[in-house]
Structure 1
Amino acid sequence: MFDHLSLGVADLSRSLAFYDAILAPLSFTRCFALPHMAAYGPGQRPMFWIAHKAEFSTPPQPAIGFHLAFQAESRQAVDEFYKAAIAHGATDDGPPGLRPHYHPNYYAAFVLDPDGYRIEAVCHQPA
């Protein structure tokens, strides 16, 4: 459906450390880097980009209602994502657990990254 997504961040070094840590349990690694931007994806497929906000023509800000969900292969990966996020400066926005109002196996965790973007890891597999 989409090819890639980009976020503008205030402090690239801080965001690189944050996303390196939280995306590792989800099998996303940093696969591309320039001085003011980097990309993550499975293997060498850059799908999620972060760039210093100076790289954008208008300074980006987290929008009300913005929500980015990364798919996790297991509930353990969701738990690891959440622990890494909190350890790297995220704000809790919903600890790991079932959200049966979405469907019986919807297991997710929600955080606000250091710039205020709402980031989720979700596993749809049964326990």
Structure 2
Amino acid sequence: MFDHISIGVRDLAKSKAFYDAALAPLGYRCLHDAPGMLGYGLDEVGLWISPSEHPVPADMRSGLHFCFSAASRKNVDDFHKGALRTGGRDNGKPGLRPEYHASYYAAFVIDPDGYRLEAYCGGD
């Protein structure tokens, strides 16, 4: 459905450190690093990041949520650790979420600008 998404952040350097650490365990990397623009993906950019004075609504209730695919539960765990180590906040520790389905393993974080992120693995 989507070719890519774009988000705005307050501090591009801080966001680069966060997304490098959080997305590397999932196999995603920074494919485009130019003044005023970062692009992350596997082989093509799917997430564009650029500076913005007001990236997330002040009430933080937009409902916006990004879920990244993970190859393994360990990758989900490492996503969570990397995110917390680089300024992210916990929004749901790694674990099974049987309310979604029996093998739904995920972790949830909030990035330094308030975006809600998830890493998900459907297998063991």
**Is the CA contact 2:84–2:90 (under 8 Å) kept in the aligned structure 1?**
yes
- Tell me what 2:47 maps to: 48
2:100 is the counterpart of 1:102: yes
Structure 2 residue runs of 5 or longer lacking an equivalent are none
Shift of 1:60: 3.2
Instruction: Report the 3-state secondary structure (helix = DSSP H, G, I; strand = E; otherwise coil) of the residue aligned with 1:8.
Output: strand
Structure 1 residue runs of 5 or longer lacking an equivalent are none
Instruction: Report the 3-state secondary structure (helix = DSSP H, G, I; strand = E; otherwise coil) of the residue aligned with 2:92.
Output: coil
Distance in 2 (alpha carbons) for counterparts of 1:101 and 1:19? 28
- Tell me what 2:109 maps to: 111
- Tell me what 2:24 maps to: 24
- Tell me what 1:83 maps to: 81
Shift of 1:40: 0.5
Which residue type is aligned with residue 12 of structure 1? L
TM score, norm. by length of structure 1 = 0.91
Shift of 1:91: 0.7
Shift of 1:64: 2.0
**Is the CA contact 2:40–2:47 (under 8 Å) kept in the aligned structure 1?**
yes
Percent of aligned pairs with the same amino acid:
52
Instruction: Report the 3-state secondary structure (helix = DSSP H, G, I; strand = E; otherwise coil) of the residue aligned with 2:55.
Output: coil
Higher strand residue share: 2
Distance in 2 (alpha carbons) for counterparts of 1:4 and 1:34? 18
Shift of 1:33: 1.7
Distance in 2 (alpha carbons) for counterparts of 1:27 and 1:94? 21
**Is the CA contact 2:93–2:108 (under 8 Å) kept in the aligned structure 1?**
yes
TM score, norm. by length of structure 2 = 0.93
